[in-house]
Every structure is written in C-alpha cells, then in structure tokens.
Amino acid sequence: MDYDLTTWLNLGLRWLHVIAGVAWIGASFYFVWLDNNLRPPVPEKEGVKGELWAVHGGGFYHSQKYMVAPAHMPDHLHWFKWEAYTTWLSGFALLTVLYYVGAPVYLIDPAKHAFSQPAAIATGLAFILGGLLVYEALCRSPLGQRPRLFGTVWFLCLTGAAYALTHLFSDRGAFIHVGAIIGTAMVGNVFLVIIPNQRRIVADMLAGRDVDPRLGAMGKQRSVHNNYMTLPVIFIMISNHYPVVTGHPLAWLLLALISAGGVSIRHFFNLRHHGVIKPDFIFLGVALVVAASAVASHKPKPAEVASDVPFPVAQAIVQKHCVTCHSATPTHKGFTAPPNGAAFDTPQGMARYAPKIRERAVDSTSMPLGNETHITDAERAQLGAWIKAGAKTP
C-alpha cells in the first residue's frame, strides 16, 4: 500500500487549524461585540459595569460584566484559552510539516537567497520570535498607552518584516511567515497577559485580597489588539490562492495595503457596536484594497517575444519547468500526485490549464515553487504569448 503520510498529515493539521481558528476568531469577535454593546444596568447593580439582554436560537440570554470581579467566585468558570492555543499549535505544526520539512520546495527561493535548509528554518524562526519580542517591547513601553501611535508603529514593523521576508523567501513562504509573526503575537497576548492576569484576579479574590483593576485593563488592551490583527492574518491564511498578490514584485506593499484595509473595516464595526456609524472607514478600507489592485496591475514590462509562439516551444518550456510536479505521475520528491489535480504532461492538459499557467507562471512568479528549475523571464513571456494566441495544440 502506497500511503502518503505527509499529505494526510498536511490535510489533518490544516483542517484542525481552520476549525480552531474559527472557534478563536468567533469567540474574539463575539466578546468585543459584547463589550461594546453593554449598557449600564437599570436599576444599578453593585459592582456591575454593564449588561446585555440577547435572544438567539429560541432562547434569551442575560450577560453581565463586572467592574473588576464578582463578589463571589462561581463554581463553574470557563476560561477562553484553548481556542487560541490550539490554533497556534496546529498552525506551527503545519508550518513545520509544509514549510520547514519541505523547505527546498516551499520556502527556499535560490533566486532570492540560496539558503541551506537549516539556515532557512533558523531565519524563519528568528523572524517569528523577533516579531514577538518587538511587539511585547512596544506594548510594555510608554507607546503601549497611546493606541493610535502604537498601532502605527507596529504596522510599520510588520510592513518592514514583510519587505525583508519577500526578499529572502519564496512568495508563499514569505507571506506565511508574516502571518506567523502576527499569530504568535496574538496567542502571546493570551498566554503571556490575558490568562495570567485572569488567574491573578481569581487568586486574589479567593484569598480575600483587593483586586488590581489594572490587570483587567491590560487584558482588555491585548484583546483589542487581537481584534484588529484578525482580518490581516485571515487574508494571509488564504493568500496562497492569489498569486497576483504573493507573486508580485511589490508583494510586501500589496500585503500592507490590504491589511490596512482590513484594519479600517474592522474599526468601522468596532465603532458600530458602540452605536457610532462612520461609513468613511468602510470606504477607506475598500479604497486601500482598490489601491492594492491598481498596484498589482502595474508590472515590469515582459520580455519581447514573437506573437506566434508555436506549441512545441511552449510544450518544451512546460516539460522543462512544470511536469516534474504537474503530471499524472510526478517525479518531484515532494509530490505523489499533481498539485490540485492539474497535470500538464499532455497537450490536452496544457490547454485545459492554460489560464492557471498564465496566472501562476506568467502574470506572477509563484510557479515553479521557489523557481527551483530557474525558469527565465523570456520563457515566461513565451508561455504568455502562446496562451494569449489561444493556447493552440496539435
């Protein structure tokens, strides 16, 4: 039996990562919404900061938030932490299986930097850990008390990391490491601040000590940070489906514009939960994404080629650079089946998948992965010319 362990491990980890991510993001969005919709109780209730009545699924719910903590600790108290921890653990395991074990295919691009596999892994881990250290230093500095300035500086740090990574790693590898930096900062907020502070609050209550309100305020600050970082990290999770972004020479700028658009849109909804309607933040978010699309449409002028590139020339390029992976029986050690079922080893396959070839190998440099076959700009232009002329086959 030919059992492809890596493929099934990849599938299982990806599925777990998505499920855990949905649970974490859903809980995070819900509690930010809940916090923004709390109203002072009528009549006033001692120690209660706000409350909300809601109806869902045929039932009524009554939520209350205490200024610091309730007078008596309930017997059952749910801690929202494993949603975050499972998302990060599954994501890091997936990063390891796909991008570190498979670094020669998915992470290293010799045209950018000729890393050895251990050096590429060490560089990726250094960026992730370094990003967490920079984020924590910013949060714990006086800058952390100035939300707008903090957000601007942290955004510029992430943009700088994106610029560096897109000049070191493969297109997909660079984006996924930016996402790993953000995701690690987010789970760090839960692991290093939110949960420890909550444990201190509970311990003080049980011991009869006064509870420091700053502990809750710090946790709320980090929760709000996570709320704003969520949409950019979701986009990065799906970015490998959009080589027009990841494979662009200015991919770091496109990522910055799209992420800023996501932050702006998220800010609109946060204000809306407070009852403040400012559609200009929606317009700004959309405008930033449109600006990214405008940047993406401008690319370096392709190499000059004849407009009548014959099929044998295009086929020779595909045979040289593509069919080691994209064939019915791949010879590349990283694949046991053609990626996404796309096989180009026959004229019919080339014609059928010509739009995909153009999207990933002509309009962008996403394929071949890491350009390990060293396809030239002239060859990409020849493929583009053959496809533009109708992708004709014998």
Tally of structural domains, the chain = 2
281-to-232, 254, 265, 272 alpha-carbon distances in Å: 16, 19, 6, 11
Q: Are residues 12 and 151 in the same domain?
A: yes
Predicted confidence at residue 72, as pLDDT, reads: 77
Statement to judge: residues 18 and 138 lie in one domain: yes
Per-residue pLDDT of 233-254, as tens digits, reads: 999 999 988 888 988 889 999 9
- Residue 115 maps to a domain: yes
Domain match, 119 and 235 both: yes
Q: Do residues 160 and 16 both lie within one domain?
A: yes
Q: Are residues 184 and 328 in the same domain?
A: no
Is-contact 368 361, C-beta < 8 A?
yes
Q: Given 207, 240, 273, which residue is the final one in a domain?
A: 240
Instruction: Provide the 3-class DSSP secondary structure of residue 64.
Output: strand
Is residue 24 located within the same domain as residue 165? yes
Residue whose pair of structure tokens reads 């510029």 in the numeric block:
156
pLDDT band at 16 (very low <50, low <70, confident <90, very high): very high
Same domain, 34 and 174: yes
Q: Are 332 and 230 found together in one domain?
A: no
In sequence order, what are the residues at sequence separation of 6 or more whose Cβ sits closer than 8 angstroms to the Cβ of residue 155? 256, 259, 260, 263
Say if 264 falls within a structural domain.
Answer: no
Q: Are residues 199 and 327 part of one domain?
A: no
Task: Give per-residue pLDDT as tens, 149-179.
Answer: 999 999 999 999 999 999 999 999 999 999 9
Same-domain status, 227 and 352: no
For 354-366, how does the pLDDT look when each residue is reduced to its tens digit (9 = 90+)? 888 888 888 777 7
Q: What pTM, to 2 d.p., does this model score?
A: 0.84
Task: Flag whether 346 is in a domain.
Answer: yes
pLDDT of residue 1: 45
Residue 133 inside a domain? The answer is yes
Using the predicted structure, report yes or no on whether residue 88 has a pLDDT greater than 90.
yes
The Cα-based distances of 21 to 29, 289, 381 in angstroms read 12, 24, 40
Domain that includes residue 135, residue range: 5-38+69-240
- Give the pLDDT band of residue 303 (cuts 50, 70, 90): low
Write out the two tokens for 48.
Answer: 């209660």
Mean pLDDT of all residues belonging to the chain: 88
Alpha helices in 102-250 (DSSP H): 103-106, 117-140, 147-166, 171-188, 195-207, 213-238, 243-246
How many CB atoms are closer than 10 A to CB 354?
A: 21
* 233-253 core/surface letters (b: 16 or more CB in 10 A; e: else): bebbbebbebbbbbbbebbbb
Only one residue has tokens 């930010």, namely: 32
Q: Is residue 303 situated within a structural domain?
A: no
Query: Looking at the structure, do residues 317 and 228 belong to the same domain, yes or no?
Result: no
Identify the pLDDT of residue 337: 78
Indicate the residue among 184, 218, 240 that finishes a domain: 240
In a domain, 94, yes or no: yes
Tell me whether residue 257 is in a domain. no
Asked if residue 265 belongs to a domain, the reply is no
pLDDT tens by residue, 102-136: 898 889 988 899 899 999 999 999 999 999 999 99
- Last-in-domain residue among 189, 223, 240: 240
Measured CA to CA, the distance from residue 137 to residue 134 in angstroms comes to 5
Are residue 373 and residue 236 in the same domain, yes or no?
Answer: no
Mean pLDDT of 278-306: 84
